[in-house]
Amino acid sequence: MDKFLDKIFFRSKNLNYISKNIKNISENTPAKKIFEAINNYSENSELRFVGGCIRKIINREEVDDIDLATNITPDEVCDALNKHQIKFFESGKEHGTITAVINEKNYEITSLRKDVATDGRHAKVEFTSDWKEDSKRRDFTINAIYSDSLGNLFDPQNGKLDLNKGVLKFIGDPEKRIQEDYLRILRYFRFHINYSTENHKTEIIKIFKKNIKGISNLSAERLLDELKKTVKSKNFLKLFEDQQSLEILEIVFPQFKNINHFKKLNSFSSKAISSFDFIFIIALLIIDETDNTDYFIYKFKISKKDQKRLKLIHYFFKENVNIKSFTEKNFNKIFYYNGRQTVIDIINFKLFFSSKVENKLLKLLKIYENKTLPELKIGANILMSKYKIPEGKILGNKLKLIEETWVQNGFQISDKQVEKIVKS
């Protein structure tokens, strides 16, 4: 009976691009195997697409992630996947999420649930088979749209209507939803710049400011993950056109010392910023002459690989801020010892903060985007056989000096120079 009522009151059959694109995902991605596994598990078991992938299809965006919801429990999900030999892991099982892995791609499958208790960071949940009950615990109406594999939408919170109208609306009482999970303050701004055509409601901003301290209880990992989604969203720069958004952003991330530079980009930056990756944009936001970079790295537990990248950019601009330092001779050293990415980062960083876009910098950027990392042809074997230098400390020192001279001379060294170093 419930399913019959759902079809009458909450589903809408679409024979347009929405249905077509949902069917395409259902048939031409590994999601098909998951639908088969769960929909055939029992008489009443059902799997649906939910959230971002449906929102993006409706909004004619590229779908880069697929989230799924089901009316069976996590244990039953595991059983269904096992029966169809689909690999999975259970790290989110406590909160109702099992992650299926097919062709090295992850698919999160979350059992329908309702919140029993919340602390602003995590919720204690109770599993349910009621799709409408599950929709009530989601943050915004545009994120509570479900679809079966055939493209039949189930939209109990009228999210599609809000999406089409450019309205970002909390489900239920906004303050209560925020106090359930303070990350929703940041999520609001991400969805606002991408989907809303309205100005912020005064009462919503007041609620955010009243509850902003709750964000301090969130883990660094969750904050950084949300920041990454915001930075890489297509309308990221809209944040810097909105003073209310910036006020919240600066409270949450006081390490963003360079926000003002994003308000008015030069001709180079306005074109290039969409191609910059997350860590480089973080570099643009945090690197200054203080120890701000080190503090951000510590607070947000940045990976060692990204730490190194941030510190190299910071070190260069702490020591060499003069445009005269930007020469091919200097960059050859950085290119050889630190790699292409470091050189490109340093040049892009300088270009971003330049009031005048220097042709010299643009030429250097092009050179190192296409330059091949050279290889020194003179090794220990040559020095040992040709110059009779025995293996040991002296050999190592000679090789190091040859390498330094070769780099200094633009990756060139003559036999005469080698001989001079060997005999010195």
Residue 261, pLDDT > 50, answer: yes
Query: Based on the domain organization, do 8 and 111 belong to the same domain?
Result: yes
Cβ within 8 Å of residue 110, ≥6 positions away: 50, 67, 68, 69, 70, 92, 95, 96, 97, 98
User: Is residue 80 assigned to a domain?
Assistant: yes
pLDDT reported for residue 385: 87
Query: Based on the domain organization, do 303 and 225 belong to the same domain?
Result: no
- What span, in angstroms and rounded, lies between the C-alpha atoms of 386 and 372? 29
Question: How many structural domains compose the chain?
Answer: 4
Q: pTM here?
A: 0.85
Query: Based on the domain organization, do 215 and 307 belong to the same domain?
Result: no
Continuous H helices in 167-300:
174-180, 184-195, 202-211, 220-231, 243-252, 260-263, 267-272, 278-286, 292-299
Instruction: Give the domain extent around 320.
Output: 286-370
pLDDT reported for residue 123: 58
Query: Based on the domain organization, do 21 and 131 belong to the same domain?
Result: yes
Query: Based on the domain organization, do 46 and 137 belong to the same domain?
Result: yes
Which CATH number fits the domain that encloses residue 74? 3.30.460.10
Continuous H helices in 40-98:
52-58, 74-83
Supply 3's token pair.
């399913």
Residue 358, pLDDT > 50, answer: yes
Query: Based on the domain organization, do 317 and 184 belong to the same domain?
Result: no
Q: Is residue 134 helix, strand or coil?
A: helix
pLDDT reported for residue 7: 45
Closest C-alpha to 243, from 189, 187, 166? 189
pLDDT band at 118 (very low <50, low <70, confident <90, very high): low
Contact 109, 102 (CB under 8 A): no
Higher pLDDT, 120 or 139: 139
pLDDT by residue (tens digit) across 274-306? Answer: 999 999 999 999 999 899 999 999 999 999 999
Higher pLDDT, 9 or 395: 395
pLDDT band at 194 (very low <50, low <70, confident <90, very high): very high
- Return the exposure string of 101-136: e unless at least 16 CB atoms fall within 10 Å of the residue's CB, then b: ebeeeebbbbbbbeeeebebebbebebbbebbebbe
Cβ within 8 Å of residue 414, ≥6 positions away: none
Residue 150, pLDDT > 80, answer: yes
pLDDT band at 95 (very low <50, low <70, confident <90, very high): confident
pLDDT band at 340 (very low <50, low <70, confident <90, very high): very high
- What span, in angstroms and rounded, lies between the C-alpha atoms of 246 and 17? 36
pLDDT reported for residue 122: 59
